[in-house]
């Protein structure tokens, strides 16, 4: 009998959890959760390499694909869905590919994760090219669907990145960059939606956030490419311009209107006195970075 991977082993610290009080159950789970940040910290160097590879691919006009099954796929879909409203990007730029398709977002699709060939086929349907980046996510490091997707991506010449909580597994052999968060045994044996899933969410947050920071979608710590398409985002855009330019909310609203609701352009207009066309030209020359446009 082979020894199960760490994510499938029994946790000695939570044995007998079924006999505990509610407060004791919560303390046991929380104690285990506290180890996740440490595991992610150890993986930061690999995560940094992945961010640089992703941002380079996006800068060249490529796309970012997440591939996962079950919890991993749903977390990928959540992160991908948040990118357009946060950074004002087109939906196709960051895409999640989940074993079992859309139904798997809300229902368990039995057997979908075991279809290795389907992982590659699903990426082929998206028109994967050598200019894209693919992030395969699998707590066990051995999900066939994810491995098939990475194999296909490698053949295409795309950037391949793996996120797993299990070292020395097939995903670390296939991915050119491996992010290994050693979260160990789960509080409930094998329930990788817990610590392993939390680590995945943290890493996914960092990959996209840091990549778009590098690409100029953030100025200071303000999301300056937000698209004011509803009342909440209109208010946020106005506040961002006011804070970045040091003007009143009323003046920020005027600048946004003059800039065609482009937050970055409005900030440049306020800080430099340029008109809209000139501000747009300077921003384009700076690769979309407000900081570079102001210092150029």
Which H or E run includes 269?
helix 263-272
Virtual torsion, Cα 258, 260, 264, 270, nearest 10 deg:
0
Q: Which two tokens stand for residue 278?
A: 């000139």
229 in Cβ contact with 254 (< 8 Å): no
183 in Cβ contact with 199 (< 8 Å): yes
244 in Cβ contact with 267 (< 8 Å): yes
Q: How many CA atoms lie within 13 A of 208 on its CB side?
A: 30
What are the residue numbers of the active site?
Answer: 82, 113
**Residue 54 buriedness (CB in 10 A; 0-12 / 13-18 / 19+):** buried
| Closest by CA position to 93, among listed 60, 137, 125 | 60
Neighbours of 286 (CB within 10 A): 18
How far is residue 132's CA from residue 187's CA, in Å, rounded to a whole number? Answer: 37
What share of residues in the chain are helix, strand, coil (percent, to 5)?
55, 10, 35
Query: Can you name the residues that pair with 97 across neighbouring β-strands?
Result: 67
How far is residue 68's CA from residue 152's CA, in Å, rounded to a whole number? Answer: 14
How far is residue 182's CA from residue 270's CA, in Å, rounded to a whole number? Answer: 47
Reduced to 3 states (helix: H, G, I; strand: E, B; else coil), residue 177 is: strand
């Amino acid at each position: 009998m082979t020894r199960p991977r760490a994510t499938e082993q029994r946790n000695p610290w939570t044995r007998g959890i079924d006999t505990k009080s509610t407060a004791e159950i919560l303390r046991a789970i929380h104690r285990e959760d506290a180890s996740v940040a440490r595991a992610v910290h150890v993986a930061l160097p690999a995560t940094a390499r992945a961010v640089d590879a992703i941002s380079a691919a996006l800068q060249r006009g490529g796309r970012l694909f997440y591939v996962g099954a079950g919890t991993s796929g749903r977390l990928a879909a959540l992160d991908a869905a948040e990118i357009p409203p946060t950074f004002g990007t087109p939906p196709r730029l960051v895409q999640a590919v989940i074993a079992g398709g859309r139904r798997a977002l809300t229902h368990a699709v039995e057997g979908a994760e075991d279809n290795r060939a389907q992982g590659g086929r699903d990426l082929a349907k998206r028109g994967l090219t050598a200019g894209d980046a693919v992030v395969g996510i699998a707590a066990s490091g051995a999900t066939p669907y994810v491995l098939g997707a990475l194999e296909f991506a490698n053949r295409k010449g795309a950037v391949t990145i793996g996120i797993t909580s299990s070292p020395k597994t097939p995903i670390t052999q296939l991915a050119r960059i491996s992010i290994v968060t050693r979260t160990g045994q789960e509080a409930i044996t094998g329930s990788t939606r817990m610590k392993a899933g939390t680590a995945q969410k943290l890493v996914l947050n960092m990959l996209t956030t840091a990549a778009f920071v590098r690409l100029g979608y953030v100025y200071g710590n303000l999301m300056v490419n937000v698209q004011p398409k509803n009342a909440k985002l209109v208010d946020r855009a106005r506040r961002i311009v006011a804070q970045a330019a040091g003007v009143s909310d009323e003046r920020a609203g005027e600048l946004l209107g003059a800039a065609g609701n482009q937050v970055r352009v409005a900030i440049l207009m306020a800080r430099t006195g340029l008109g809209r066309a000139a501000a747009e030209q300077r921003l384009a020359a700076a690769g979309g970075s407000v900081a570079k446009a102001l210092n150029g």
